[in-house]
Amino acid sequence: MSKSIHDLKLGQVLTIGDVTVRLEKKSGQLARLAIEAPSTTPVKLSKETNAHECIPIKEELTHG
Protein backbone atom coordinates (compact mmCIF):
# COMPACT_ATOMS: atom_id res chain seq x y z
CA MET A 1 0.00 0.00 0.00
CA SER A 2 1.29 3.47 -0.83
CA LYS A 3 0.72 6.75 0.99
CA SER A 4 0.21 10.16 -0.58
CA ILE A 5 -0.10 13.47 1.29
CA HIS A 6 -1.87 16.46 -0.26
CA ASP A 7 -2.61 19.95 1.02
CA LEU A 8 -5.97 21.28 -0.16
CA LYS A 9 -7.41 24.77 -0.17
CA LEU A 10 -11.14 25.33 0.31
CA GLY A 11 -13.04 24.13 -2.74
CA GLN A 12 -10.18 22.08 -4.17
CA VAL A 13 -10.92 18.56 -5.35
CA LEU A 14 -8.82 15.42 -4.98
CA THR A 15 -9.65 12.57 -7.36
CA ILE A 16 -8.82 8.99 -6.40
CA GLY A 17 -9.88 6.57 -9.12
CA ASP A 18 -13.67 7.03 -9.46
CA VAL A 19 -13.88 8.93 -6.15
CA THR A 20 -13.77 12.71 -5.76
CA VAL A 21 -13.11 14.42 -2.44
CA ARG A 22 -13.75 18.17 -2.05
CA LEU A 23 -12.66 20.27 0.93
CA GLU A 24 -15.90 22.10 1.75
CA LYS A 25 -15.09 23.76 5.07
CA LYS A 26 -12.13 24.10 7.44
CA SER A 27 -12.35 25.39 10.99
CA GLY A 28 -9.52 24.78 13.45
CA GLN A 29 -8.77 21.05 13.47
CA LEU A 30 -12.09 20.13 11.82
CA ALA A 31 -12.53 19.75 8.06
CA ARG A 32 -15.72 18.99 6.14
CA LEU A 33 -15.19 16.77 3.11
CA ALA A 34 -17.73 16.12 0.37
CA ILE A 35 -17.12 12.65 -1.07
CA GLU A 36 -18.63 11.42 -4.32
CA ALA A 37 -18.12 7.72 -4.95
CA PRO A 38 -19.84 4.89 -6.80
CA SER A 39 -22.44 3.12 -4.66
CA THR A 40 -20.23 0.02 -4.75
CA THR A 41 -17.34 1.88 -3.08
CA PRO A 42 -17.50 1.74 0.72
CA VAL A 43 -16.91 5.11 2.42
CA LYS A 44 -16.56 5.02 6.19
CA LEU A 45 -15.07 7.12 8.96
CA SER A 46 -12.33 5.41 10.97
CA LYS A 47 -12.20 5.53 14.75
CA GLU A 48 -11.47 8.91 16.25
CA THR A 49 -7.73 9.55 16.48
CA ASN A 50 -6.34 11.38 19.48
CA ALA A 51 -3.75 14.08 18.85
CA HIS A 52 -1.01 12.06 20.57
CA GLU A 53 -1.55 9.24 18.02
CA CYS A 54 -0.80 11.50 15.04
CA ILE A 55 2.67 11.63 13.52
CA PRO A 56 3.93 15.16 12.78
CA ILE A 57 4.28 15.72 9.02
CA LYS A 58 7.99 16.64 9.25
CA GLU A 59 8.81 13.38 11.06
CA GLU A 60 6.65 11.38 8.66
CA LEU A 61 8.33 12.79 5.56
CA THR A 62 11.88 12.34 6.83
CA HIS A 63 11.33 8.65 7.55
CA GLY A 64 9.64 7.71 4.26
Q: What's the pLDDT tens digit per position in 28-45? A: 989 999 999 999 999 999
Across-strand partners of 15? 20
How much is the mean pLDDT over the chain? 84
Q: In angstroms, rounded to a whole number, what is the distance separating the alpha carbons of residues 64 and 56?
A: 13
- Residue 47's pLDDT band, with cuts at 50, 70 and 90, is confident
CB 3 within 8 A of CB 64: yes
Instruction: Read off the pTM.
Output: 0.67
Is the pLDDT reported for residue 64 higher than 50? no
Identify the weakest region by mean pLDDT among 3-17, 26-40, 44-58.
44-58
> What is the SS3 assignment for 12?
coil
Q: Give the integer Cα–Cα distance in Å for 9 and 23.
A: 7
With H, G, I as helix, E, B as strand and everything else as coil, classify residue 51.
helix
